């Protein structure tokens, strides 16, 4: 299950999609909009995705962690558009017979997502905005 | 040949557009397309460090050769999650 | 938040209890009754806890991972009594500003729980029953 | 002195009870209490390997000395989660 949506994310949908009777462990990772970053207050975030490439890369990452770890199912949802403080931007659910591979695979998935999936985050902080990872894009609104 | 260029995030902001066509000679590479695109966009822009490129949704190196009708995405540092 | 209960567990309660605006990551671990173990079919499990020692040890583990990793809040719930296939026996939620310590702390918590928290699991398999970790307790009902 | 012994899981099944008192001389250790408990329970039982002991909810070694009124839990291998 791969979801890229402007709607709020519901972790229960993802967790429910991966849980099978053969599984002893389900990990759910939630990425949340924090109220601070790099020592300054954050007002909200805005995410943009290049589709369908983002969907394809997410599928490749699912295949990658299934190849490498003994896990069962993987579901991922990424929100795009405006995401307010305390709201979820990313949810990943991974099921497995045993817990350790599920933990390792989920962490690896998030690490890789942040390297290869064409999704960008613009931070609206107090007094300005910046595309994360691209300092030259910073603008102040003072 | 005609190539679709797509720009995203901070790159789109700099160039003043997200989507445009460039005409290139046969055999042109990604690097050639970027050079052309920098002058063809509404605003002249410079590439950020760590720029990546994808042809038809697959990452490629800057020496990759383009074909007519390709979609070339110029991808500034990603920051999903 | 520490819950030991005979009632079904609701992960949402735990996740909600740990999520703060300063957190960028929440990990939720669910331990589930699998339909197989050690190569044989499992019918259901039955859990027993020594209270209040189990509650105290869970609190010590929370303190232990908070000391060791940069995490924010921890919530844990363990079900006791009969737990059917596909039902949750354990839910742990951990929040943190950043994801890596949350992953490491959550995995460590589960590992340690299985070493020091006085909770026992009896497996009812096809044709018998056994307290897990205590092979001498096995009885067949053939 | 009087000690409460608590047995759990497979140990309780073997001994036929989960809760009973033993009388011990002053200065008795956990090991002494276990020896006495093995004969005092409804059914004679042998300790499983990896048995742990806790006095008043804290893990202790088998040489720990008991006090009057202590609750001594005999803890077979735990398997929560």
Whether D contacts C, i.e. 3 or more CB pairs less than 8 A apart, is yes
Looking at per-residue confidence, does A21 or B64 come out higher?
B64
Cβ contacts of residue B46 below 8 Å, gap of 6+? B14, B38
The alpha carbon of residue D25 is apart from the nearest alpha carbon of chain C, in Å, by 26
Here the tokens at position A18 are 């991966």
Query: For A50-89, what is each residue's pLDDT tens digit?
Result: 999 999 999 999 999 999 999 999 999 999 999 999 999 9
Cβ contacts of residue C5 below 8 Å, gap of 6+? C77, C78, C79, C80
Residue C142 pLDDT: 64
Set of chain B residues whose Cβ sits within 8 Å of the Cβ of A120: 8-10, 76, 78-80
Distances (CA, A) of A127 to A35, A130, B36, C10, C22: 14, 11, 35, 40, 19
Here the tokens at position A46 are 């805005």
Here the tokens at position A26 are 């389900």
Query: For C19-61, what is each residue's pLDDT tens digit?
Result: 999 999 999 999 999 998 888 899 999 999 999 999 999 999 9
Does the beta-carbon distance from C99 to A85 stay under 8 Å? no
Looking at per-residue confidence, does A6 or B39 come out higher?
A6
Residue of chain D whose Cα is closest to the Cα of C107: D81
Query: For D20-60, what is each residue's pLDDT tens digit?
Result: 999 999 999 999 999 999 988 899 988 888 899 999 999 99
Residue B43 pLDDT: 92
Strand order of the β-sheet with B19-23 is B19-23, B2-7, B71-75, B52-55, B58-60
Does the beta-carbon distance from D9 to C137 stay under 8 Å? yes
Query: For A5-44, what is each residue's pLDDT tens digit?
Result: 999 999 999 999 999 999 999 999 999 999 988 888 999 9
Cβ contacts of residue C96 below 8 Å, gap of 6+? C23, C24, C25, C26, C69, C70, C71, C72, C102, C105
Residue range A107-116: mean pLDDT, rounded: 97
A136 close to B (CB below 8 A): yes
ipTM of the complex: 0.92
User: What residues does each domain of chain D span?
Assistant: 2-75
Query: C54 in helix, strand or coil?
Result: helix
List the single residue in C24, C28, C33 with the smallest CB-CB distance to A32.
Answer: C24
A38 close to B (CB below 8 A): no
Set of chain C residues whose Cβ sits within 8 Å of the Cβ of A32: 19, 23-26
Alpha helices in C1-142 (DSSP H): 11-18, 53-68, 99-116
Confidence of residue B5 (pLDDT cuts 50, 70, 90): very high
**Nearest alpha carbon to residue A42 among A121, A125, A122:** A125
Distances (CA, A) of B37 to A129, B46, B58, B77, C74: 25, 10, 19, 19, 51
Cβ contacts of residue A39 below 8 Å, gap of 6+? none
List the single residue in D11, D14, D81 with the smallest CB-CB distance to C31.
Answer: D81
pLDDT at A142 over 90: no
Query: For C56-109, what is each residue's pLDDT tens digit?
Result: 999 999 999 999 999 999 999 999 999 999 999 999 999 999 999 999 999 999
Confidence of residue B30 (pLDDT cuts 50, 70, 90): very high
List the single residue in D11, D54, D80 with the smallest CB-CB distance to C119.
Answer: D80
Here the tokens at position C133 are 């970790």
Residue range B52-60: mean pLDDT, rounded: 97
Q: Taking the model in full, what pTM does it have? A: 0.93
pLDDT at B46 over 90: no
- What's the CATH code, domain B2-75? 3.10.20.30
The residues of B whose Cβ lies within 8 A of any Cβ of A are 6, 8-11, 13-14, 48, 50, 54, 57, 59, 73, 75-81
C136 close to D (CB below 8 A): yes
Residue A77 pLDDT: 98
CA B45 to chain centre: 12
Cβ contacts of residue C38 below 8 Å, gap of 6+? none
Chains touching chain D, criterion 3+ CB pairs below 8 Å: C
Whether B contacts D, i.e. 3 or more CB pairs less than 8 A apart, is no
Query: D32 in helix, strand or coil?
Result: helix
Set of chain B residues whose Cβ sits within 8 Å of the Cβ of A113: 80-81
């Amino acid at each position: 299950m791969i979801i890229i949506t402007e709607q709020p994310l519901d972790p229960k949908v993802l967790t429910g999609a991966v849980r099978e009777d053969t599984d002893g462990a389900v990990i759910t990772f939630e990425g949340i909009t924090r109220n601070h970053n790099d020592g300054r207050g954050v007002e909200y975030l805005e995410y943009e995705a290049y589709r369908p490439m983002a969907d394809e890369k997410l599928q490749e990452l699912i295949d990658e962690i299934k190849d490498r770890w003994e896990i069962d199912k993987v579901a991922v949802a990424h929100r795009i558009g405006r995401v307010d403080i305390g709201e979820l931007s990313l949810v990943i659910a991974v099921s497995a017979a045993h817990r350790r591979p599920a933990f390792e695979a989920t962490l690896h998935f998030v690490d890789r997502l942040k390297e290869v999936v064409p999704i960008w985050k613009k931070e609206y902080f107090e007094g300005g905005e910046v595309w994360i990872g691209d300092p030259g894009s910073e603008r102040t609104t003072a | 040949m005609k190539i679709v260029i797509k720009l995203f995030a901070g790159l789109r902001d700099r160039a003043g557009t997200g989507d445009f066509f460039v005409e290139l000679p046969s055999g042109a590479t990604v690097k050639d397309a970027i050079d052309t695109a920098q002058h063809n966009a509404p605003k002249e822009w410079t590439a950020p460090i760590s720029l990546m490129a994808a042809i038809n949704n697959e990452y490629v190196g800057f020496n990759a050769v383009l074909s007519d009708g390709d979609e070339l995405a110029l991808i500034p540092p990603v920051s999903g999650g």
